[in-house]
Amino acid sequence: MLHRDPRTYRLNAFGRLAVTHTASVVGDALLTVSLAGSIFFTQDIAKSRTQVLLYLVLTIAPFAVVAPVIGPALDRSRAGRRVLMATGLFLRAIVCFLMARYLDTLALYPLAFSALVLAKGHAVAKSALVPAVVRDERALVDANSRLALLSTVASVVGGAPGAAIIAVAGAPWSLRLAAVVFAVGGFLALRIPRAERAAPPETVEEQVELHTPSIVFSGTAMSVLRGGVGFLTFFLAFHLKQVGEPTWFYGAVLAASVTGGFLGVVLAPFARRRVREEVMLAAALLGPAVVALVSARDPNRFTVVVVALSIAVAAACARIAFDSLLQRDGPEHLRGRAFARFETRFQLVWVAGALVPVALLDILTVRTGFLVLAVALGFAGLSYVGGLRSRGDWGRTASPPGAGT
Protein backbone atom coordinates (compact mmCIF):
# COMPACT_ATOMS: atom_id res chain seq x y z
CA MET A 1 0.00 0.00 0.00
CA LEU A 2 2.73 2.43 0.99
CA HIS A 3 6.07 2.30 -0.81
CA ARG A 4 9.48 2.67 0.78
CA ASP A 5 12.87 3.32 -0.73
CA PRO A 6 14.62 -0.13 -0.54
CA ARG A 7 17.91 1.57 0.35
CA THR A 8 16.68 3.73 3.22
CA TYR A 9 13.28 2.23 4.16
CA ARG A 10 11.90 5.74 4.10
CA LEU A 11 8.42 6.43 2.77
CA ASN A 12 8.32 7.88 -0.72
CA ALA A 13 6.33 11.02 -1.58
CA PHE A 14 3.04 9.17 -2.01
CA GLY A 15 3.59 7.24 1.23
CA ARG A 16 4.10 10.48 3.15
CA LEU A 17 0.88 11.95 1.74
CA ALA A 18 -1.00 8.70 2.51
CA VAL A 19 0.19 8.58 6.12
CA THR A 20 -0.72 12.24 6.64
CA HIS A 21 -4.17 11.72 5.13
CA THR A 22 -4.72 8.64 7.28
CA ALA A 23 -3.97 10.66 10.42
CA SER A 24 -6.50 13.27 9.28
CA VAL A 25 -9.23 10.67 8.71
CA VAL A 26 -8.60 9.00 12.07
CA GLY A 27 -8.90 12.40 13.73
CA ASP A 28 -12.11 13.15 11.83
CA ALA A 29 -13.58 9.79 12.91
CA LEU A 30 -12.77 10.54 16.56
CA LEU A 31 -14.32 14.00 16.17
CA THR A 32 -17.51 12.64 14.57
CA VAL A 33 -17.96 9.96 17.24
CA SER A 34 -17.39 12.57 19.96
CA LEU A 35 -20.15 14.78 18.56
CA ALA A 36 -22.66 11.93 18.29
CA GLY A 37 -24.17 12.68 21.69
CA SER A 38 -23.84 16.46 21.52
CA ILE A 39 -26.52 19.08 20.93
CA PHE A 40 -26.11 18.50 17.17
CA PHE A 41 -27.71 15.05 17.17
CA THR A 42 -29.89 14.73 20.23
CA GLN A 43 -33.14 15.79 18.54
CA ASP A 44 -35.47 13.50 16.62
CA ILE A 45 -34.68 13.91 12.93
CA ALA A 46 -38.27 13.25 11.86
CA LYS A 47 -39.66 15.99 14.10
CA SER A 48 -37.03 18.69 13.72
CA ARG A 49 -36.65 19.98 10.18
CA THR A 50 -35.08 23.15 11.54
CA GLN A 51 -32.24 21.11 13.03
CA VAL A 52 -31.74 19.29 9.73
CA LEU A 53 -31.70 22.55 7.78
CA LEU A 54 -29.11 23.94 10.18
CA TYR A 55 -26.94 20.91 9.54
CA LEU A 56 -27.28 21.34 5.76
CA VAL A 57 -26.36 25.01 5.97
CA LEU A 58 -23.30 24.12 8.04
CA THR A 59 -22.16 21.69 5.33
CA ILE A 60 -22.38 24.42 2.67
CA ALA A 61 -20.89 27.30 4.62
CA PRO A 62 -17.27 26.08 4.72
CA PHE A 63 -17.05 26.29 0.96
CA ALA A 64 -17.62 30.03 1.11
CA VAL A 65 -14.07 30.02 2.49
CA VAL A 66 -12.62 27.05 0.63
CA ALA A 67 -13.49 28.12 -2.93
CA PRO A 68 -12.36 31.79 -3.08
CA VAL A 69 -9.60 31.70 -0.46
CA ILE A 70 -8.05 28.27 0.06
CA GLY A 71 -7.99 27.15 -3.59
CA PRO A 72 -5.93 30.09 -4.92
CA ALA A 73 -3.71 30.01 -1.82
CA LEU A 74 -2.81 26.42 -2.62
CA ASP A 75 -1.62 27.31 -6.10
CA ARG A 76 0.40 30.45 -5.39
CA SER A 77 3.31 29.01 -3.44
CA ARG A 78 5.57 26.02 -3.90
CA ALA A 79 4.96 24.82 -0.37
CA GLY A 80 1.35 26.05 -0.24
CA ARG A 81 -0.36 22.69 -0.43
CA ARG A 82 1.65 20.89 2.22
CA VAL A 83 1.85 23.97 4.47
CA LEU A 84 -1.91 24.48 4.25
CA MET A 85 -2.44 20.81 5.04
CA ALA A 86 -0.11 21.01 8.05
CA THR A 87 -1.63 24.28 9.25
CA GLY A 88 -5.13 22.87 8.94
CA LEU A 89 -4.20 19.81 10.98
CA PHE A 90 -2.58 21.90 13.73
CA LEU A 91 -5.61 24.21 13.84
CA ARG A 92 -7.98 21.24 14.05
CA ALA A 93 -5.96 20.01 17.01
CA ILE A 94 -6.58 23.34 18.75
CA VAL A 95 -10.28 23.28 17.81
CA CYS A 96 -10.69 19.78 19.27
CA PHE A 97 -9.10 20.86 22.57
CA LEU A 98 -11.58 23.75 22.71
CA MET A 99 -14.51 21.48 21.79
CA ALA A 100 -13.63 19.20 24.71
CA ARG A 101 -14.21 22.17 26.99
CA TYR A 102 -17.33 23.61 25.33
CA LEU A 103 -19.00 20.41 24.07
CA ASP A 104 -22.42 21.08 25.60
CA THR A 105 -22.59 24.84 24.99
CA LEU A 106 -23.53 27.05 22.06
CA ALA A 107 -19.82 27.72 21.52
CA LEU A 108 -19.76 24.30 19.88
CA TYR A 109 -21.38 25.71 16.70
CA PRO A 110 -18.60 28.13 15.67
CA LEU A 111 -16.02 25.53 16.65
CA ALA A 112 -17.76 22.89 14.51
CA PHE A 113 -17.91 25.38 11.63
CA SER A 114 -14.16 25.95 11.95
CA ALA A 115 -13.52 22.21 11.95
CA LEU A 116 -15.62 21.81 8.78
CA VAL A 117 -13.74 24.59 6.97
CA LEU A 118 -10.40 23.06 7.89
CA ALA A 119 -11.55 19.56 6.89
CA LYS A 120 -12.69 20.79 3.46
CA GLY A 121 -9.40 22.61 3.02
CA HIS A 122 -7.56 19.37 3.79
CA ALA A 123 -9.62 17.47 1.20
CA VAL A 124 -8.83 20.04 -1.49
CA ALA A 125 -5.11 20.11 -0.60
CA LYS A 126 -4.93 16.32 -0.63
CA SER A 127 -6.52 16.05 -4.07
CA ALA A 128 -4.28 18.79 -5.45
CA LEU A 129 -1.15 17.06 -4.09
CA VAL A 130 -1.80 13.61 -5.58
CA PRO A 131 -0.43 14.36 -9.09
CA ALA A 132 2.79 15.67 -7.54
CA VAL A 133 3.50 12.41 -5.69
CA VAL A 134 2.92 9.85 -8.48
CA ARG A 135 5.15 9.20 -11.45
CA ASP A 136 2.66 9.63 -14.28
CA GLU A 137 -1.01 10.30 -14.94
CA ARG A 138 -1.76 6.63 -15.57
CA ALA A 139 -1.23 5.96 -11.85
CA LEU A 140 -3.79 8.54 -10.71
CA VAL A 141 -6.72 6.14 -10.32
CA ASP A 142 -4.57 3.69 -8.34
CA ALA A 143 -3.34 6.51 -6.09
CA ASN A 144 -6.81 7.95 -5.50
CA SER A 145 -8.20 4.47 -4.86
CA ARG A 146 -5.50 3.69 -2.29
CA LEU A 147 -6.17 6.95 -0.49
CA ALA A 148 -9.92 6.25 -0.50
CA LEU A 149 -9.31 2.72 0.80
CA LEU A 150 -7.09 4.09 3.55
CA SER A 151 -9.87 6.54 4.41
CA THR A 152 -12.36 3.70 4.83
CA VAL A 153 -10.03 1.69 7.06
CA ALA A 154 -8.92 4.76 9.04
CA SER A 155 -12.54 5.71 9.74
CA VAL A 156 -13.07 2.38 11.47
CA VAL A 157 -9.70 2.57 13.22
CA GLY A 158 -10.58 6.02 14.56
CA GLY A 159 -14.23 5.40 15.33
CA ALA A 160 -13.89 2.17 17.32
CA PRO A 161 -11.46 3.41 20.01
CA GLY A 162 -13.32 6.72 20.08
CA ALA A 163 -16.54 4.93 21.01
CA ALA A 164 -14.71 2.92 23.66
CA ILE A 165 -13.14 6.05 25.17
CA ILE A 166 -16.53 7.78 25.26
CA ALA A 167 -18.07 4.80 27.05
CA VAL A 168 -15.32 4.78 29.69
CA ALA A 169 -14.23 8.41 30.13
CA GLY A 170 -16.64 10.56 28.10
CA ALA A 171 -16.61 12.49 24.80
CA PRO A 172 -14.14 15.21 25.96
CA TRP A 173 -11.35 12.63 26.20
CA SER A 174 -12.14 11.33 22.72
CA LEU A 175 -11.83 14.90 21.45
CA ARG A 176 -8.49 15.29 23.23
CA LEU A 177 -7.24 12.12 21.52
CA ALA A 178 -8.42 13.56 18.18
CA ALA A 179 -6.39 16.69 18.93
CA VAL A 180 -3.26 14.60 19.49
CA VAL A 181 -3.84 12.69 16.23
CA PHE A 182 -4.33 15.92 14.28
CA ALA A 183 -1.15 17.38 15.78
CA VAL A 184 0.85 14.30 14.75
CA GLY A 185 -0.66 14.58 11.27
CA GLY A 186 0.49 18.19 11.07
CA PHE A 187 4.11 17.19 11.62
CA LEU A 188 3.76 14.40 9.06
CA ALA A 189 2.40 16.86 6.50
CA LEU A 190 5.55 18.96 6.73
CA ARG A 191 7.53 16.00 5.36
CA ILE A 192 5.56 15.92 2.08
CA PRO A 193 7.77 17.20 -0.78
CA ARG A 194 7.25 20.75 -2.03
CA ALA A 195 5.79 21.45 -5.45
CA GLU A 196 8.33 22.00 -8.21
CA ARG A 197 7.24 25.59 -8.81
CA ALA A 198 4.62 28.10 -7.77
CA ALA A 199 1.63 28.84 -9.97
CA PRO A 200 1.40 32.16 -11.82
CA PRO A 201 -1.87 34.09 -11.83
CA GLU A 202 -4.70 32.34 -13.65
CA THR A 203 -4.74 33.17 -17.35
CA VAL A 204 -7.61 33.20 -19.84
CA GLU A 205 -6.14 30.15 -21.56
CA GLU A 206 -6.06 28.22 -18.28
CA GLN A 207 -9.64 29.23 -17.54
CA VAL A 208 -10.55 27.76 -20.92
CA GLU A 209 -8.66 24.56 -20.02
CA LEU A 210 -10.82 24.15 -16.92
CA HIS A 211 -13.87 24.32 -19.20
CA THR A 212 -12.81 21.65 -21.69
CA PRO A 213 -15.66 19.27 -22.63
CA SER A 214 -14.16 16.32 -20.76
CA ILE A 215 -14.04 18.27 -17.49
CA VAL A 216 -17.38 20.05 -17.93
CA PHE A 217 -19.34 16.92 -18.89
CA SER A 218 -17.72 14.80 -16.20
CA GLY A 219 -18.27 17.49 -13.59
CA THR A 220 -21.95 17.63 -14.48
CA ALA A 221 -22.27 13.84 -14.30
CA MET A 222 -20.55 13.77 -10.92
CA SER A 223 -22.79 16.59 -9.68
CA VAL A 224 -25.95 14.62 -10.48
CA LEU A 225 -24.58 11.57 -8.70
CA ARG A 226 -23.69 13.62 -5.61
CA GLY A 227 -27.20 15.08 -5.65
CA GLY A 228 -28.56 11.54 -5.78
CA VAL A 229 -26.44 10.56 -2.78
CA GLY A 230 -27.77 13.53 -0.79
CA PHE A 231 -31.34 12.70 -1.80
CA LEU A 232 -31.09 9.03 -0.83
CA THR A 233 -29.31 9.76 2.46
CA PHE A 234 -32.02 12.06 3.81
CA PHE A 235 -34.87 10.24 2.11
CA LEU A 236 -33.99 7.01 3.90
CA ALA A 237 -33.26 8.80 7.18
CA PHE A 238 -36.70 10.42 7.22
CA HIS A 239 -38.57 7.44 5.82
CA LEU A 240 -37.12 4.87 8.21
CA LYS A 241 -37.89 7.10 11.16
CA GLN A 242 -41.38 7.87 9.86
CA VAL A 243 -42.40 4.20 9.48
CA GLY A 244 -40.77 3.19 12.76
CA GLU A 245 -38.14 0.79 11.47
CA PRO A 246 -36.14 -0.97 14.23
CA THR A 247 -32.65 0.17 15.15
CA TRP A 248 -31.03 -2.93 13.67
CA PHE A 249 -32.31 -1.97 10.22
CA TYR A 250 -30.64 1.44 10.48
CA GLY A 251 -27.45 -0.48 11.17
CA ALA A 252 -28.04 -2.71 8.15
CA VAL A 253 -28.46 0.28 5.81
CA LEU A 254 -25.39 1.97 7.28
CA ALA A 255 -23.38 -1.23 6.93
CA ALA A 256 -24.48 -1.52 3.29
CA SER A 257 -23.30 2.04 2.61
CA VAL A 258 -19.93 1.47 4.28
CA THR A 259 -19.48 -1.85 2.47
CA GLY A 260 -20.43 -0.24 -0.83
CA GLY A 261 -17.89 2.52 -0.34
CA PHE A 262 -15.20 -0.07 0.42
CA LEU A 263 -16.11 -2.14 -2.65
CA GLY A 264 -16.08 0.99 -4.81
CA VAL A 265 -12.55 1.99 -3.91
CA VAL A 266 -11.34 -1.60 -4.37
CA LEU A 267 -13.03 -2.04 -7.76
CA ALA A 268 -12.05 1.34 -9.23
CA PRO A 269 -8.41 0.45 -10.10
CA PHE A 270 -9.50 -2.81 -11.75
CA ALA A 271 -12.12 -0.97 -13.79
CA ARG A 272 -9.56 1.65 -14.84
CA ARG A 273 -7.31 -1.04 -16.32
CA ARG A 274 -10.10 -1.87 -18.78
CA VAL A 275 -11.96 1.39 -19.41
CA ARG A 276 -11.35 5.12 -19.24
CA GLU A 277 -12.47 7.38 -16.40
CA GLU A 278 -15.37 8.66 -18.52
CA VAL A 279 -16.83 5.17 -18.92
CA MET A 280 -16.50 4.57 -15.18
CA LEU A 281 -18.53 7.73 -14.53
CA ALA A 282 -21.23 6.69 -16.98
CA ALA A 283 -21.51 3.25 -15.39
CA ALA A 284 -21.70 4.85 -11.94
CA LEU A 285 -24.82 6.74 -13.04
CA LEU A 286 -26.57 4.01 -15.02
CA GLY A 287 -25.87 1.14 -12.61
CA PRO A 288 -27.71 2.49 -9.54
CA ALA A 289 -30.41 3.92 -11.83
CA VAL A 290 -31.28 0.40 -13.00
CA VAL A 291 -31.12 -0.95 -9.43
CA ALA A 292 -33.43 1.81 -8.15
CA LEU A 293 -35.87 1.32 -11.03
CA VAL A 294 -36.12 -2.43 -10.43
CA SER A 295 -36.40 -1.92 -6.67
CA ALA A 296 -39.28 0.54 -7.14
CA ARG A 297 -41.47 -2.31 -8.40
CA ASP A 298 -41.47 -4.05 -5.03
CA PRO A 299 -39.90 -1.86 -2.32
CA ASN A 300 -39.02 -3.68 0.90
CA ARG A 301 -36.21 -3.88 3.42
CA PHE A 302 -34.03 -5.94 1.11
CA THR A 303 -34.36 -3.52 -1.80
CA VAL A 304 -33.62 -0.55 0.48
CA VAL A 305 -30.33 -2.18 1.48
CA VAL A 306 -29.51 -3.06 -2.14
CA VAL A 307 -30.14 0.49 -3.37
CA ALA A 308 -28.00 1.93 -0.54
CA LEU A 309 -25.23 -0.53 -1.42
CA SER A 310 -25.36 0.19 -5.16
CA ILE A 311 -25.22 3.96 -4.88
CA ALA A 312 -22.37 3.74 -2.35
CA VAL A 313 -20.34 1.59 -4.75
CA ALA A 314 -21.12 3.95 -7.63
CA ALA A 315 -20.30 7.11 -5.68
CA ALA A 316 -16.94 5.75 -4.52
CA CYS A 317 -15.92 4.60 -8.02
CA ALA A 318 -17.15 7.82 -9.62
CA ARG A 319 -15.32 10.07 -7.20
CA ILE A 320 -12.02 8.29 -7.81
CA ALA A 321 -12.59 8.44 -11.57
CA PHE A 322 -13.49 12.14 -11.51
CA ASP A 323 -10.53 13.10 -9.33
CA SER A 324 -8.22 11.25 -11.72
CA LEU A 325 -9.84 12.85 -14.76
CA LEU A 326 -9.46 16.35 -13.32
CA GLN A 327 -5.87 15.64 -12.35
CA ARG A 328 -5.31 14.30 -15.88
CA ASP A 329 -6.94 17.06 -17.95
CA GLY A 330 -6.87 20.12 -15.66
CA PRO A 331 -4.08 22.76 -15.72
CA GLU A 332 -1.23 21.48 -13.57
CA HIS A 333 -0.78 24.62 -11.49
CA LEU A 334 -4.47 25.39 -10.96
CA ARG A 335 -5.49 22.12 -9.36
CA GLY A 336 -6.11 23.71 -5.96
CA ARG A 337 -8.58 26.17 -7.46
CA ALA A 338 -10.14 23.50 -9.67
CA PHE A 339 -10.75 21.05 -6.83
CA ALA A 340 -12.08 23.84 -4.59
CA ARG A 341 -14.57 24.92 -7.26
CA PHE A 342 -15.81 21.42 -7.97
CA GLU A 343 -16.03 20.56 -4.27
CA THR A 344 -18.20 23.64 -3.83
CA ARG A 345 -20.48 22.58 -6.68
CA PHE A 346 -20.71 19.00 -5.45
CA GLN A 347 -21.57 20.06 -1.93
CA LEU A 348 -24.25 22.45 -3.19
CA VAL A 349 -25.96 19.76 -5.28
CA TRP A 350 -25.65 17.27 -2.40
CA VAL A 351 -27.54 19.71 -0.21
CA ALA A 352 -30.05 20.42 -2.98
CA GLY A 353 -30.72 16.70 -3.27
CA ALA A 354 -31.03 16.41 0.52
CA LEU A 355 -33.54 19.25 0.66
CA VAL A 356 -36.01 17.41 -1.60
CA PRO A 357 -37.04 14.76 0.97
CA VAL A 358 -36.96 17.41 3.72
CA ALA A 359 -39.48 19.50 1.76
CA LEU A 360 -41.58 16.59 0.43
CA LEU A 361 -41.55 14.36 3.50
CA ASP A 362 -45.34 14.04 3.60
CA ILE A 363 -45.84 12.91 -0.02
CA LEU A 364 -42.80 10.77 -0.85
CA THR A 365 -43.12 6.99 -0.56
CA VAL A 366 -40.35 4.46 -1.03
CA ARG A 367 -41.62 3.68 -4.53
CA THR A 368 -41.77 7.31 -5.67
CA GLY A 369 -38.43 8.05 -4.01
CA PHE A 370 -36.72 5.22 -5.88
CA LEU A 371 -38.39 6.29 -9.13
CA VAL A 372 -37.18 9.87 -8.72
CA LEU A 373 -33.66 8.60 -8.10
CA ALA A 374 -33.78 6.21 -11.08
CA VAL A 375 -35.06 8.88 -13.50
CA ALA A 376 -32.52 11.50 -12.41
CA LEU A 377 -29.51 9.17 -12.55
CA GLY A 378 -30.69 7.41 -15.72
CA PHE A 379 -31.30 10.64 -17.63
CA ALA A 380 -27.92 12.03 -16.55
CA GLY A 381 -26.15 8.78 -17.45
CA LEU A 382 -27.70 8.51 -20.92
CA SER A 383 -26.98 12.18 -21.59
CA TYR A 384 -23.38 11.71 -20.55
CA VAL A 385 -22.96 8.64 -22.77
CA GLY A 386 -24.50 10.59 -25.66
CA GLY A 387 -22.02 13.40 -25.10
CA LEU A 388 -19.11 10.96 -25.03
CA ARG A 389 -20.26 9.27 -28.24
CA SER A 390 -20.67 12.59 -30.04
CA ARG A 391 -17.07 13.49 -29.13
CA GLY A 392 -15.75 10.03 -30.04
CA ASP A 393 -14.60 9.26 -26.49
CA TRP A 394 -16.92 6.33 -25.74
CA GLY A 395 -15.01 3.79 -27.84
CA ARG A 396 -11.52 4.89 -26.78
CA THR A 397 -9.59 2.24 -24.92
CA ALA A 398 -7.92 2.81 -21.59
CA SER A 399 -4.17 3.22 -21.43
CA PRO A 400 -2.67 0.76 -18.95
CA PRO A 401 -2.30 2.24 -15.51
CA GLY A 402 1.20 2.90 -14.31
CA ALA A 403 2.74 1.74 -11.13
CA GLY A 404 4.06 5.07 -10.15
CA THR A 405 2.71 5.26 -6.63
CATH number listed for the domain at residues 206-391: 1.20.1250.20
φ/ψ (deg, to 5) at 148: -65, -40
Distances (CA, A) of 248 to 155, 184, 240, 254, 304: 21, 36, 11, 10, 14
Question: In the Cβ-directed half-sphere of 293, how many Cα atoms lie within 13 Å?
Answer: 12
Q: 3-class DSSP state for residue 123?
A: helix
pLDDT in tens for each of the 405 residues of the chain? 444 444 333 667 788 889 999 999 999 888 888 876 554 455 555 455 566 666 666 666 665 555 555 555 555 555 556 777 888 899 999 999 999 888 877 777 778 777 877 887 787 777 777 777 776 656 666 777 788 888 888 887 787 788 788 888 888 898 999 999 999 999 998 888 765 544 445 555 555 656 777 788 888 999 999 999 989 988 887 787 777 778 778 778 888 888 898 898 888 888 888 888 888 999 999 999 999 999 999 889 999 999 999 999 999 999 888 988 887 777 666 665 677 678 778 877 887 888 888 778 778 888 999 999 999 999 999 999 888 777 766 555 555 444 444
The sign of the torsion formed by the CA atoms of 352, 57, 115, 26 equals negative
Q: 3-class DSSP state for residue 78?
A: coil
Where b means 16+ CB within 10 Å and e means fewer, 217-255 reads bbbbbbbbbbbbbbbbbbbbbbbbeeeebeeeeeebbee
What does the domain layout of the chain look like in residue ranges? Answer: 13-189, 206-391
Q: 3-class DSSP state for residue 12?
A: coil
Q: Is 13-189's fold the same as 206-391's? A: yes
- Dihedral-angle region of residue 170 (phi above 0 means left; psi in -120 to 50 means alpha; beta otherwise): left
pLDDT for the residue numbered 288: 95
Contact 326, 215 (CB under 8 A): yes
Contact 198, 76 (CB under 8 A): yes
- pTM for the full model? 0.70
The 3-state secondary structure of 140-156 reads HHHHHHHHHHHHHHHHH
* In this structure, CATH architecture of domain 13-189: Up-down Bundle (1.20)
